[in-house]
Amino acid sequence: MSVDLLLQTPVDLTASIPAQPFTPEEFDEYVMKTYARYPITLERGAGCRVWDSAGREYLDFVAGIATCTLGHAHPVMVAAVTQQIQTLHHVSNLYYTAAQGELAKWLVEHSCADRAFFCNSGAEANEGAIKLARKYAHDVRGIADPVILTAHASFHGRTLATITATGQPKYQKGFSPLVPGFVYVPYNDIAALEQTIAELDQTTPRVAAIMLEALQGEGGVRPGDTAYFQRIRQICDEKSILLICDEVQVGMGRSGKLWGYEQHGIEPDIFTSAKGLGGGIPIGAMLCKDSCNVFQAGDHASTFGGNPFATAVALAVCHTLEQEHLLKNVQERGDQLRTGLTAIAQRYPDKVADVRGWGLINGLEISADIELTSAQVVQSAINQGVLLVPAGPKVVRFVPPLIVNAAEIDQALSAIDQAFATL
Ligand SMILES: *Cc1c(COP(=O)(O)O)cnc(C)c1O
């Protein structure tokens, strides 16, 4: 069929739109129950707000779990999606395409890295980083049995290698045998790290890389100590160990700086991005310095990775972040949010143990002395019309779109205040 004929063929534009209503019960008959979902069906979004199938409005301080950088239905994203799907959306990495090159250039020019590899998710980006670190250990350092150190309470994804990298037994349970070559250390404990390296490297060097989040997201919104990260950088330089920063959650401006590692004044050898990079379009990236780039043609690949569709949208997100001075907004709104949460903590001293975070990734920790869980606080906030997400059983996480305004921060603060008043 010629293109002309195709374009003339009448298309039912409603065919791809799911019939409503689709109840949670119906949904659960067909979709694997791997998620504990809240009993609301979201239908539509605009800016920092979403609406459910009953027409109820919510302020979205989850943003697809720190992903919708520009909120919902942002005109720049709508334009980028529309333009690119009408031009070229996918052709494979057998050929050159402009958007992938442009996005790599933007990321390289705005980070410490020299080169980028594109994939589809955070876990896949971390898989790439793990493969690169192992290949560097084999090819450059002659390590036959490399080990990667990761932290307790870390989170690196749900594939087999990345649940192994994740230092939380609850994600690993039932999936053994896990991937060999990972050893865990307590986060922010430099003495423990130095001792672990000394033990592993005792007879012959084995430690290939140290993989950390600049701030642990899923593990409870725990910022790393700058002295810890700076000492790690020194150790890595002394011993030719690669430092990998998992920037999947804290990167792309969420911390108030473009990359979380900038908060510690260090540069990793490898870092990964995903979540906020595409503003909600699936994309991941693994970036590295040329000094450790041992990948050659054929070493790593991904069918969808870096396709024109995903990279054009991510590029539009990156440009908007820059042009709209969103980092400044993240810093100002973040200060406003933490100030408000600290005041709430003072009003409910028996319930709130701590408030912490950077920019627009913040956590409120519930007192260990009471039964209250983060899921209960989140449910209560939903009742107040605000979407929040737990970061573990005792921490409530606030990760709104980076375009959030002062009135929206105030609305979220009064909802959480109400939630604590009723609990
Ligand atoms: C969410 C997350 C991942 C996993 O990303 P997916 O896109 O779900 O695979 C990895 N690392 C960190 C720090 C994350 O927050």
Atom of ligand 1 nearest to the CA of 249: 15
Residues 339 and 220 in one domain: no
Rounded Cα–Cα distance for residues 282 and 292 (Å): 27
Dist. CA 421–CA 226, nearest whole Å = 36
Place 22 in a pLDDT band, splitting at 50, 70 and 90.
confident
Where does the pLDDT of residue 185 fall: very low under 50, low under 70, confident under 90, or very high at 90 and above? very high
- Taking 90 as the threshold, does the pLDDT of residue 1 lie above it? no
What is the C-alpha to C-alpha distance for residues 158 and 155, in angstroms, rounded to an integer?
9
Q: Are residues 363 and 291 in the same domain?
A: no
pLDDT (tens digit per residue) in 330-379: 999 999 999 999 999 999 999 999 999 999 999 999 999 999 999 999 99
Judge if 185 and 297 occupy the same domain: yes
CATH of the domain at 305: 3.40.640.10
Q: Is residue 288 part of a domain?
A: yes
Q: Quick one: which atom of ligand 1 is closest to the CA of 121?
A: 7
Distance 6 CA to ligand 1 centre (A): 40
pLDDT at 307 over 90: yes
Cα 68 to middle of ligand 1, angstroms:
14
Q: Are residues 222 and 346 in the same domain?
A: no
The residue among 363, 367, 365 whose CA lies nearest residue 61 is 363
What's the mean pLDDT in 40-62? Answer: 97
Would 362 be classed as within a structural domain? yes
Burial (CB count <10 Å: 0-12, 13-18, 19+), residue 227: exposed
Are 319 and 331 within one domain? no
Q: 377 vs 287, 348, 395, CA distance in Å? A: 37, 13, 9
The percent of residues above 70 in pLDDT, for the chain, comes to 95
- 89 & 238 share domain: yes
For residues 88 and 220, membership in a common domain is answered with yes
The residue whose CB lies within 8 Å of the most ligand 1 atoms, and thus the one to mutate among 154, 156, 163, 395, is: 156
Q: What range defines the domain where residue 195 resides?
A: 81-323
Residue 350 located in a structural domain:
yes
Q: Looking at the domain assignment, is residue 392 inside a domain?
A: no
The predicted pLDDT at position 11 comes to 62
pLDDT tens-digit map of 259-281:
999 999 999 999 999 999 999 99
N- to C-terminal Cα separation, the chain = 63
Q: Does pLDDT of 403 surpass 60?
A: yes
Same structural domain for residues 312 and 330?
A: no
224 and 279 in a common domain? yes
Note whether 317 and 331 are same-domain residues: no
Q: Using CA positions, which residue lies closest to atom 15 of ligand 1?
A: 249
Boundary residue ending a domain (323, 344, 363): 323
**H-helix or E-strand spanning residue 193:** helix 190-200
Q: Do both 107 and 131 map to the same domain?
A: yes
Tell whether ligand 1 has an atom less than 6 A from the beta carbon of residue 154.
no
**pLDDT above 80: residue 41:** yes
Select from 249, 271, 277, 281 the residue to mutate for testing ligand 1; criterion: most ligand atoms less than 8 Å from CB.
249
166 lines ligand 1 (CB under 6 A): no
Does residue 335 share a domain with residue 315?
A: no
Tell me the average pLDDT across 372-394.
Answer: 96
The arithmetic mean of pLDDT across residues 128-154, rounded, is 98
Poorest-pLDDT segment among 7-16, 98-107, 127-136, 261-270: 7-16
Q: Among 280, 303, 323, identify where a domain stops.
A: 323
User: What's the structural domain count of the chain?
Assistant: 2
| pLDDT tens readout for residues 75-119 | 999 999 999 999 999 999 999 999 999 999 999 999 999 999 999
In a domain, 344, yes or no: yes
Domain C-terminal end among 341, 357, 374: 374
Does 37 map to a domain? no
285 within domain boundaries: yes
- pLDDT tens digits, 282-303: 999 999 999 999 999 999 999 9
Q: Tell me the one-letter amino acid at 297.
A: A
Whether residue 26 is contained in a domain is answered as no
Strand partners, 390: 396
Mean residue pLDDT of the chain comes to: 95
Question: Ligand 1 pocket test: which of 35, 248, 283, 304 has the largest number of ligand atoms within 8 Å of its C-beta?
Answer: 248
C-alpha to C-alpha distances, 166 to 27, 87, 239, 393, nearest whole angstrom: 30, 40, 24, 17
Judge contact between 285 and 273, C-beta under 8 A.
yes
Quick check: 132 pLDDT over 90?
yes
